Amino acid sequence: MAWTWRFEKSDGSETEPALQPEEFTTQGDAETWIGEFWKELLDGGADQVTLFEDATKIYGPMSLQADQG
């Protein structure tokens, strides 16, 4: 099984990430990576991400914007 992120603009269209991640072997590894690099991804033009396990959508889109509330 491979865990991957889809990088998107706020309108849901796919965009090329500023950092190219590997395919992760666990959900935890994928989530740790996004937790470490979300700011660089946001600065590079991605507004949100969606997590997939192989072709199955697990969750998302999840905003990379810091909570303004």
What tens-digit pLDDT sequence spans the chain (69 residues)? Answer: 899 999 999 999 999 999 999 889 999 999 999 999 999 999 999 999 999 999 999 999 999 997 654
Distance CA 47, CA 8 (A): 6
pTM score, whole prediction: 0.91
What residue spans define the domains of the chain? 3-63
What is the pLDDT at residue 68? 52
The half-sphere exposure of 19 on its side-chain side, counting CA atoms within 13 A, is: 15
| Sign (positive or negative) of CA dihedral 51, 2, 21, 9 | negative
What is the pLDDT at residue 35? 95
